Structure 1
Amino acid sequence: MTDWLDEFLDPENFEAAWQKIKRKRSGPGVDGETIDQLAARIDQVQTQLIKAIAQNTYQPLPLKPFVIPKKNGEWRHLAVPTLRDRLVQQALLSILHQILEPQFESSSFAYRPGKSYLTAVRQIRHWHHQGYEWVLDADLVKYFGELNHQRLIAEVAERVHEPKFLDLVQAWISVGTYTKQGIILPEKGLPQGAIISPILANVYLDDFDEAFLGHQAKLVRFSDDFVLLARSKKTIYQLKDQVEQLLSTMGLTLHPDKTSITSFEKGFKFLGHTFVGDLIIENRAKPSATPREPKPDLLHVEAIIHADPPTQTTAMAQALLEAVHRQKEAIPSPLYVVLGYRPRSNKPIAIDSEEISWLTGMATLYLVHQGSTVRKQQERIVIQRPQQDSIEIPLAEVQRILVFGNIQLTTPVITLCLEQRIPVIYLSQMGEYKGHLWNETAYDLTLEIAQFQRCQDQVFQLTTACQIVKGKLWNSRQLLLRLNRNRQLSSVATAIQQLEDYREQLSNPLSIDQIRGYEGTGAASYFAAFGQVVDHPDFHFKKRTYHPPLDPVNAMLSFGYTLLLKNVFSMVMAEGLNPHLGNLHGAKRPKAYLAFDLMEEFRSPIVDTLIIKLINQKIIKPSDFTWPNEQGGVYLNESARRV
């Protein structure tokens, strides 16, 4: 017997679903996430979705209103899920097709593999040739908007016996539509625009299809349009009354203006074809009228995402929510937070914090509050932050300054830093190195000559590079040992042994490329194990990515390594060394290779140790990160950088 749940949660099923979603290149939902942004982190997202579904924590976001023009000049209103919700729906749809297709009747033709409106047209021709001359040409009133949720779930449960599938269907049909007035929760109906809706629409009418099995009349149904064919006029009139009664038990009504009794002799139109006698003529589409403007209320709303952590609902808030729902009004933004959503800000990142302070004994001054001005006042520097109190710091206590983004240093401050040989390092708001400020005595020519000579000494280069990598592997191993002491994960233990094996190999005579190879292989083993000791359920780490970092853990690693590098860089400068002359690192393109060399051993004990603590102790939350940019890059935002 097939385990449908296992098949549904199989990563290969989600990957196949993703490929279908990606090919459609459809637009974003209410969260604003695009295909390209999702593609940049799809492996992580699929893992998160599968885990959330398995643990019953998956919750869809509201639907995004969308309109497309109709041929009559009106607008068809759709409501589309987010790309992530579409991915889950597509994954379940592939399973539901396997379960439901054998149960559907041959008289339904819409939204089914191997069937189309043309097969429906051919079926009508077949029944006509069999003597079925009289026709009930019918259409339902607002079919997708009228489906009763309770009946739909009961019909699905009758055919699909996996509770988790029913929970997903219930969640998708109950989720609201996000408008400018707030979230409108549905009382009935299916969202046109959701991947899962068509197959659910067929489930809802399957009993109707069954009612005409082996009947004296023949049914051909395409979604909410259908024809019922009979051999006599009397029969067709009797059937109309039966159809109306049957549909009323389902909460559905025949459209009075679009439903009629006719015959092949008189002719009728169905599915873009005109049937007259033995002729079937394909209708040519008329030029469409210019659509009138859609209602602005349904368009251009602010993006929203899941609240993190989930908002605790108070009794008062829940009562207000239920009252608004009973009044059939949109749930405004102060209340839709109760549903577990919050706005996704598209404003520029403001890296600031109430924790900004300076304590005696600090050496590095980090300037991160955007729009600040740094000026000189006697032998002190004063940091003026927009609409906040100033901070005064004795310059004698500052050994280096790191400037992030839009922060202005006045000329007197720059002059003072040059005179006092205080390096000033400029970075982008996200931490990308831009350049540095140093005075004319920065380089010791004698020392620099000695550096160049050492660079030509292959024995010195190999020995130094080897010791750097040995130290890095040792520290990486020690961190994993400590983190795995209580976990006792076999995969982490394997990585620990691999790091020790690589260290032993470094005792042999090696070329610089071989040394770098062990450093790279060791890093790969280390980071594979590093992801195993991340305990926070909302953080996942599979591999190291940068330029840009594609997930929160990589964002923290990149930011931490940047701070470490720039501190080492300033120390190198302060000692009069040329920062570009490294031993382990090096290439034709000028970079601070010596600083890269010297920071390697300190990555694990300083940066990685801190990051694991921040994540596992839940000091850092997923909401402390930016939404992926167009390249998929994720970065720490706001005061999280000051934690």
Structure 2
Amino acid sequence: MLPVESFHLLSFRFSVLAPIRRLPHFHGPQWMGLFRNLINFVGAADGIDSLSSSVWVQPIETGILSYDEGDTISLGLVVPSSGAQLLQDVLERFNAVTVGKGHFQTGITVKLESAISRLTAKQWSAADPPLSLEDLTPEIERLCQLDTFSIETLSPLRIPRPEGLKGEQHRYCDAEYFLSGTTEKPFARFLEKVRGGHAVSANSDLLITGGAMTWLDVSYGDARGKTVGGVTGILTVSGRPSRGEAECLVWGQYVGVGKNAAFGLGFYRIPQLETALRITPLTRATTLFGRAVNLQALTDSLGSLSDSSPGPDGMSLTDARAAGPPLLRKILDNACSGLPVGPIPLKPYAIPKASGGYRAIHIQNIGERILHRAFANTLSPSLEGLLSSSAYAYRRGLSRKNAARTLQGLLAEEHSLGIKADIATFFDSVNTSDLCALLLGMYPAEPLAFFLSAWLHTIARQGISGLPQGWSLSPPLSNLYLERFDRTMDRHGFRLVRFADDFVVLCRGGVSSDTVLRAVESSLAELGLSLRPDKTSEVVGGTQVSFLGYLVSAEEIREAGRPDEPPEEVWLPVFRPDWQNGLPVYLTSICRGAYSSGPSLVVNKTDENSESIPWNRISRLVVVGRSSFSGGVMYRAVREEIPVTFIDVMGRTRGRLTATSGDIFDHTPVQTEKCADRDWVLDVSRRLVAAKIHNAYVLLRRNDKVVHELKDLEAQVTQVSSLESLRGVEGTAARIYFEYFGGLVAPFEFTGRVYRPPDGPVNVLLSFGYTLLYNRLTAVLADKGFNPRKGIFHREHGRHAALASDLLEPLRHLADRIVLSLIHLGEVTPDDFASQDAGAGTTCRMNGKGFRTFINRYEWTMASNFTPRKGQKTSYNGWLDETVDAFKRDVLYNIPYEPLRID
């Protein structure tokens, strides 16, 4: 069988000259208007009869609602051979004339950049050969070998029903016609209506055995609400096509099926033929995926996430925000590397339900949460115009109060009979295969739809039913899934008010509540859903309706308290922040008691003030020395799964208290692997030493000593190629620093740094400060799952915590600052020290008064707040945890560690 007509297939690229806003979901009529005006204009000028109705646009960027200046637009076009020369004349003049008054206007909003033949993949010319069956032979032969294949819509299909099956609201083949199972040979009608002159028998034995479709209205013309429409989605067809049927179906992919070809309706593809293609498929130039996967969109996504427990990789939201752009670039690269194929890492939780039993929750890694929130932020506005006005949940500007007001209005308009109901286990019951069919049909050639489809199929293979609760994408996808139910209620003439899976369906008198109930149950059954009997009740005129926490009548809306059980997903965090997400709290000598009060830990301070800290914002509790606290503090910490560490006044760990269910992390295997990477070790060591030298320079500058040699040495750090060379630079910087530091410690003398034993008061103070910080860092490292003895820059030996010494380097200025404060404020004097000869040198020791004074100053300093660069205010105690967390992000997630650099 040969086609009667021959066609050229073109692919256009346009650049956007000015912003284009408020596009409908499908752009066919808007592009048709531009080409019709152009062809009529050029045809009239050349004295040629118009062929505009025979030129069929094929929009591919469905779902894009706006373009910005500089964007690129992709468009397909089908033109009969008889109109090829006229089209070439039109394209030659495209950018030279100004035509159109809608969204797309030549010379004003769009400029033609290229017109490519889909047959040759080269610049198109009217002299090019048209599409022939020979071009389609590989696809035809492949289709003849298939027992099952799919029809995936690229635009809505507007196929008239057979005369005997038409009704007032059923003039065209809709989802009911194709999928209800009540129509005899529905696919035969599809074959009959393929364009281009084919005449295939209506007696085809090909059967529709699955799929999902919904109706999409297509707006056109100037009149508001003027639409045509068709079905979109996927049909699964079983049966091996005959040669004639295969030719018809393959040909139909390029010329379409059904009515309104000029608007771009009726195009589809058979995805199983992708490997046999000779014709270049249409692809998008602007994608929703691209608008979601970029640094700005991911930054916005990260900023909008709420705290919740970490996923399997242990990275918290706090970690992600601290990691910043390097993490987002990694997420971007991973998303662009391909579709999700392997198992998605998930952390399961079981959350008790108010009605009994448990709700299964699966927590993603933070990277996936950021990406999916960006997807949701991009997809939701695109879906907005497709959703029924009956749906109120998860939509910007709408709320349960809006739903209650609409319900009140309907009751006042005497829609007084119906039912109030909930869908049973809705999110778990969503048929994700059907949902994928809707997504792929409504967003043709869209990478975001491909990504979401692959993701939904992957989690289904992992045993997760339906839409995972608490995930950012589940709300917009749930509304899309229920759009068919909303539309069916409207077709029945009912009035629906729906908030997620909680809804009221009303009608006027003349229809019984039982009729409404049967229609609701039937519609939901088609979607694989059912009602909760215990939540289904009759609505009777004159009575109040309990809905979404309100008591609603025709006269008023009253708060009824919280709903008995609100919609299962309010899409706020289902967990308190995990203990890793908060801040450490230190109970030290400056505390005068601590106790648990309600949701908070109350800490009394020496100045008679107290601080109330929510338990859910505490990451670790550190008890220093003999700090006073009630027994209830320890009990509450264990109950909240907050680890408690006991350290002595020197910072040495003496014990730990953890809940049996608390997470215990061991990062030593990864730590060991990273430490074997010489390039990584050198890179981190450079960062540590550079930060140490920088902070030393700033401390001296704050004390009116500007030492340019230190800045020069800091610059040299980036050039060294070995740890030995780096140690040489670090040693030189330390010597220069302490030479100038000695001029700041009068009345004490200081001629240079002496370690073991210290030879004078200043060295005693410095060694004591470094030791306190070293011990406290050692405790933090151990609490967070690291081996403190596995160092990077410092060599490992004996019981030395080499890693604590590494992370101490950028913080040494803190101990130096404490020493200067003690001396300048006169809090320590020469009388607080005693010296004695020790062979070749002198040994100096600090007495009890000096020890207590130092500890007091140290604890006050460590408890004081500061604001690190690009960070939030925190205490120095809190910064010890943050610097270890930053190191963890480098070790576990390859996010470069940035030591503290002061200003």
TM range (shorter): 0.3 to 0.5
TM-score by length of 1: 0.48
Higher Cα Rg: structure 1 or 2? 2
* Bigger relative contact order (CA 8 A; separation at least 6): 1
TM-score by length of 2: 0.35
